[in-house]
Amino acid sequence: MTTDRIVRIMAGLMVLISLALAHLTGTVDLAKPSWLWLTAFVGLNLFQSGITRFCPMDSILVKLGVRRAQ
């Protein structure tokens, strides 16, 4: 496993943990539709891209002609 993948996994976990803690302490109500669901989506995608090596944004950028890093 590379450092890039570990960073993605850890970043995703931190986002998801912070959302869960905000919800559990009553700071945020995730039962109501809000922009925090976008944050949860980003956190989940960071986490899964670190594990599966599939990143939707990477696929979109490649289709738009952006070169991949070496």
What are the pLDDT digits (tens) for 8-42? 999 999 999 999 998 899 888 888 878 888 999 99
Q: Report yes or no on 70 lying in a domain.
A: no
What's the pTM value of the predicted model, to 2 decimals? 0.80
| Average pLDDT over all residues of the chain | 91
- Residue numbers of the domain that contains 36: 3-63
Asked if 50 and 6 count as a contact pair (C-beta separation under 8 A), the reply is: yes
Domain count along the chain = 1
Q: What is the DSSP letter of 35?
A: T
Across 28-57, average pLDDT? 90
pLDDT for 29 equals 84
State the DSSP code for 32.
S
